[in-house]
Structure 1
């Protein structure tokens, strides 16, 4: 069964499970206020702030086939749900809109800057394998290797390490607009919109998952409006923001692009959660069999649940920190249920280990609070 069909089945299963749960809405993420239709990053609620009704398994998780995972990035089985998709990214259509001052400088913005930022950010979360399109760096490195190692050694290494073939292509389109307010004294208002599409490069199908929607960033989200103020006299720039200077405009657009990519990242992390199996529970402490290698992030909020005979039953919520190949966490709140009470009682008496007929997993609910700030 190909990966696309697996994804469809996983989504159907998640929908059925969600429908079977309590109708009371869980609050697992939080957002800031949306102003001027700008987009905001969505982050996971801290595990220490959860209430009982919030302890529900989020959508888009998949526990099927975890036993088939071996974490060999070169030969991971297709039926392993944690297999990292190989992705190549493109910035495709680019439109520039607006009238009056500053449009030409806005047209000169180089989308390659966006592509490099996007690749760097997505590679860092370790839930994807990114095939870089930075041909300049690769070409320079290959030439250096030829000079230092010789053609024979380089050819041998290249034969053993083939260029990755993407499972998906991520295509992003951007729209940049500028609006001026005022005639003598005015302000430059910039807007950046990013839309994305996930494409199967072999079937040419545009996939519905993951769906991150449209992202809109305004200049006022990243700069104080006074910084974009300018003064005109006789239709000429006198002082203030140099809207005609591409270097100054690029600096603003880079800040806007960085914020847009952060928002894109948080949406992807919500739709592609990290999953790990629980080795054991002692008191409120849990031990997971996967860590950074499965994309578990520092201070990750994870729902702990039991999976048995196709049924999912939440047990609690935990704050988790990974090492390279495992993770440790603290259950901050146990679910108010007979199952959770039973497991908690056994964990108080010693180390609770799931039996052979049941398995306990932990699944993330979104981008950890503070994660984006710690990476800037």
Structure 2
């Protein structure tokens, strides 16, 4: 009877412990839409909406690589995840498909505009070092420097600052298609597909990381369908959307391309997060050693974690805003753990400064909320 009672009590204890432990996955992103009726993009959940189960290091961050970091911003180790990669971008294969009206005007779209748009967007977030392919601007600037400063001065400056060599290239292929519906009154339906691939330019290897995948944008994502309505009579255009005019078609495709690049940007920001080292914690305020110079964005949601002897232990989540070379943040939620409790208590009593043997880092979880609205 006693043994039976002991077994029953043990089972009850296990049941209670199981009930106390949650197994829900971390929810660090959410589905969001921007104001011009764009396709859904994955953005970071606000740090103020996190729960304890969400406080985990993002899947794509290489914590083991931290052992390779020298923390010298101007000469960082190639294997350190804090180093900003150097990227060159290409628009490669372009294809146009469809049938009926509007195909010819669609073929006239110039993909070079997409490349410039892509370079500008990625350079603006300062998380990568972009090697531009805008040769016309570079050539014009070099000629102007020669005229104003002379060949010797330009040669000396060029010797000091060599052209960046890319760590990898991002190649995008595009497919533009059009179909129209109706005989007298019709609508033009456009689709733009962007397929991204990452290549090591030295080994020629197609890399699996970052995996940006395929992006599909439809004209209805950026324009009301009524705006693309037209009227025909005797198989001739009468009024409405000028599907045969490349200027009108380009305006629609540009909006679609902009939305596709926004989605591509959010994927890249998720797979290649911003990172910084925590210098100190005072109360709920944290100080980071890197800011805009390392691609930390305004209202960045960042997981704060301790790294020691190859082990990672999350201690909280913070909302971070950068200055040029550093950042300040607010711990919005401490992890329910003994380590977090210990650090929090020391931070309340003064300034907690991480030791060299147990450094603390911050890593972003994705594109900040409202970033697409305000910056792209």
Structure 1 length as normaliser, TM-score? 0.90
Distance 1:356 1:62 in 2: 19
Q: What are the Cα deviations for residues 97-155 of structure 1, in whole angstroms up to 9, with x where unaligned? A: 10000000000000001000000011111121111111111111111111111122112
Q: Gapped runs of 5+ residues in structure 1?
A: 1-20
What's 1:116 paired with?
116
**3-state SS in 2 of match to 1:144:** helix
Distance 2:132 2:307 in 1: 37
- Residue 356 of structure 1: how far off its partner (Å): 3.2
Contact 2:69/2:76, CA 8 A, preserved across alignment: no
Q: Is 1:168 matched with 2:164? A: no
Distance 1:257 1:300 in 2: 26
**Structure whose CA Rg is larger:** 2
Contact 1:198/1:210, CA 8 A, preserved across alignment: yes
**3-state SS in 2 of match to 1:31:** strand
What's 1:12 paired with?
none
Distance 1:315 1:271 in 2: 22
Distance 1:175 1:104 in 2: 14
**Residue number among 68, 71, 79 corresponding to 2:70 in the alignment:** 68
Distance 2:341 2:68 in 1: 26
What's 1:94 paired with?
94
Contact 1:65/1:79, CA 8 A, preserved across alignment: no
Structure 1 runs (4+) deviating above 3 angstroms are none
Q: What are the Cα deviations for residues 301-324 of structure 1, in whole angstroms up to 9, with x where unaligned? A: 001111112111111110000111
**3-state SS in 1 of match to 2:76:** coil
Distance 1:317 1:81 in 2: 20
Q: Is 1:336 matched with 2:357? A: no
Aligned length: 350
Q: What are the Cα deviations for residues 195-214 of structure 1, in whole angstroms up to 9, with x where unaligned? A: 01111111111111000110
Q: Gapped runs of 5+ residues in structure 2?
A: 1-20
What's 1:363 paired with?
363
Contact 2:39/2:221, CA 8 A, preserved across alignment: no
- Residue 294 of structure 1: how far off its partner (Å): 1.3
**3-state SS in 2 of match to 1:71:** coil
Instruction: Please tell me the root mean square deviation across aligned C-alpha atoms, in Å.
Output: 1.6
What's 1:303 paired with?
303
- Residue 340 of structure 1: how far off its partner (Å): 1.3
Contact 1:69/1:83, CA 8 A, preserved across alignment: no
Contact 2:199/2:205, CA 8 A, preserved across alignment: yes
Distance 2:83 2:364 in 1: 16
Distance 2:333 2:222 in 1: 36
What's 2:259 paired with?
259
What's 1:83 paired with?
83
**3-state SS in 1 of match to 2:41:** coil
Contact 2:82/2:276, CA 8 A, preserved across alignment: no
Q: Is 1:139 matched with 2:139? A: yes
